[in-house]
Amino acid sequence: MRRRHLLGAGLGLMAATATTRARAFGEEGAFNPRVLLTGDAKWEGARLRAPARWSDELARRTSAPSRVQPTVVEADDKELLAEPFVIWGGATDVPALTSKEVAMLKRFFSLGGIVLVDDFDPDKGAFGKAARREISRVLPENGPLAVGADHVLFRSFYLLKRAVGRIQGPAKLEVVVRAGAVQVVYSSHDLLGALATDSSGASTLEVIPGGESQRELAIRLCVNLGMYVLCSNYKDDQVHAEHIMRRRGGK
């Protein structure tokens, strides 16, 4: 599988509208795969270091700016609005979002924010079902659509035939699209599980059924998601599209 040296059609259209005054987000515009916490949830366990690996893989493979130490944000915290991307992951049912959490997430989406919903135990599917229930309260007018290899998420850097994670799962992702842009991605694949490492950087969770070749494809899907985030609009500004295009054009 080869790398793609031009952005997919959807990202190319975004880049074409970039302004020379594009404003950076976060730490010098770095990709920050923040973990979203709701209720009294804590970020701990086997996937603790997975977001940092995601940042590292994106930076090494694309030269895109990425946070060395991704952050954690609570759904009712104003810091949620500071950057365009969060990962909401889990393995079990979650309590209903509070009214403050719903309101903050509505604001986040209104600014163009993107949420990856990552089910860590897709065979049971309890978390994915609960997340869909709660996001439908935030975005009641928009339901999920299944997308496959012809969608920009599968072509924004690598050309991918299907979605995989720690679990092979369904070939397609589900997305919620608003104003022509993806704002929610539902994964029944445990993407963070495929990225999980120990303190030495070694992968810790077995990838089923495809082993290390499947892990590589899961990492490539994460890179594609990261590139989509970096080339999306947030707070009505184009973010780093020209910079990324220049860096990629030199490969």
pLDDT tens by residue, 15-32: 332 322 223 334 557 999
pLDDT tens digits along 47-86: 999 999 999 999 999 999 999 999 999 999 999 999 999 9
- β-pair type (173-178, 145-147): antiparallel
Structure tokens at 165: 């994670």
Query: What's the chain's average pLDDT?
Result: 86
| Residue 235 confidence (pLDDT) | 58
| Residue 232 confidence (pLDDT) | 81
78 compared with 3, residue with greater pLDDT: 78
Q: Rounded to an integer, what distance in angstroms lies between the CA atom of residue 137 and that of residue 53?
A: 32
Parse the chain into domains and list their residue ranges: 9-249
Residues 157, 4 contacting (CB under 8 angstroms)? yes
**pTM assigned to the model:** 0.84
Q: Which helix (H) or strand (E) holds 72?
A: strand 72-74
- Strands, E assignment, 94-227: 114-119, 145-147, 173-178, 181-187
Lowest mean pLDDT among 1-15, 136-150, 181-195: 1-15
Q: Which helix (H) or strand (E) holds 228?
A: helix 211-230
**pLDDT at residue 246 tops 90:** no
Choose among 31, 25, 14, 13: nearest CA to 226. 31
Q: Please state the rounded mean pLDDT for residues 219-242.
A: 76
* CATH dotted code for 9-249: 3.40.50.12140
